[in-house]
Amino acid sequence: MSARGTALVTGASSGIGAAVAAALVARGYKVYGTSRNPEKVNAPVRGVTYLALDLSDEASIEACAAAAGDVDVLINNAGESQSGPFEELPMDAVRRLFQLNVFGAVRLSQLLLPGMRERRRGRVVMVGSMLASFPLAYRSSYVASKAAIKGFALAARREYAPYGVGITTVEPGSIATGISERRTQYVADGSPFRAAYDTMLAALNRNEANGISAEKVAAKVVSAVEAGRPRPLYAVGSNAPVVFALRRVLSRGAAERMVARRHGLR
């Protein structure tokens, strides 16, 4: 084990996960990163050992946890970005999203937390989304999945604090990772929501393209990992400090309108 300990970063084949894995290597951790196809990772991060993980497969989650062994830092980063009008989201797509963004991360955490508790040290970071704090129309399944994983973290952190294990959520805003190209979309033919959906999507893609770098998110994740006592919630990107401050003074309705307008919606 390296002096700093062992970290496992899910979804380390691209974007935020790759940047977090690189930042943890630079900080002296032994780092495992995951991909569904570890042998086909486009630009493997130097110093990272890749493990196979498909969060939609229970056996794969168990095999990954076993292969990683004692993990001190778990970064639940892998995720799917999904969008579509609420009534047009196929239930199998919603279930797949929750399996990946919520249940898979919960299960992996359940497998690794007992060791952290026994060793009396550890960190678990959920990579959420600012959209969970600032819900956006036509992103309901994604917003709900990120709110759900934050809920697990917020409640469970109280169970682990006495054991020196910190659980937290980092909510990124718009980050330029190319995730827009990988977003799954469900809009019915002839959808009455088409025009509003397209308006929202154009703004979303523009915001992502103009977003901050994955490296800035990684720096925030590392600061959460290395905090003596991680805060319940961190946010980075999309002017997070200003936007969260505004949210404290605005009514819920006004905050909702602010988010809608940023995406061209009424």
Ligand X SMILES: NC(=O)c1ccc[n+]([C@@H]2O[C@H](COP(=O)([O-])OP(=O)(O)OC[C@H]3O[C@@H](n4cnc5c(N)ncnc54)[C@H](OP(=O)(O)O)[C@@H]3O)[C@@H](O)[C@H]2O)c1
Residues that bind ligand X (CB under 6 A): 10-11, 13-17, 35-37, 53-56, 77-81, 100, 127, 129, 172, 174-175, 177, 179, 182, 208, 211
Our CB check for ligand X shows the closer of 6 and 10 to be: 10
Distances from the Cα of 193 to the Cαs of 86, 87, 133, in angstroms?
10, 10, 24
Residue 29 annotated as catalytic: no
Q: Dihedral through CA 57, CA 83, CA 142, CA 226, nearest 10? A: 90
Q: How far is the CB of 163 from ligand X (least distance, A)?
A: 26
What does the alpha-carbon distance between residue 241 and residue 245 come to, in Å, rounded to a whole number? 6
Our CB check for ligand X shows the closer of 162 and 208 to be: 208
Residue nearest to ligand X (CB): 15
Our CB check for ligand X shows the closer of 210 and 251 to be: 210
Contact between 17 and 25 (Cβ < 8 Å): no
Among candidate residues 32, 50, 138, 142, the one labeled active-site is 142
Q: How far is the CB of 255 from ligand X (least distance, A)?
A: 18
Residue tagged 């709110």 (tokens): 147
What angle, 0 to 180 degrees and rounded to 10, lies between the N-to-C axes of helices 104-119 and 140-160? 20
Our CB check for ligand X shows the closer of 54 and 72 to be: 54
Q: How far is the CB of 219 from ligand X (least distance, A)?
A: 15
What is the CA 126 to chain-centroid distance, rounded? 6
Q: How far is the CB of 9 from ligand X (least distance, A)?
A: 9
As annotated, the active-site residues are 142
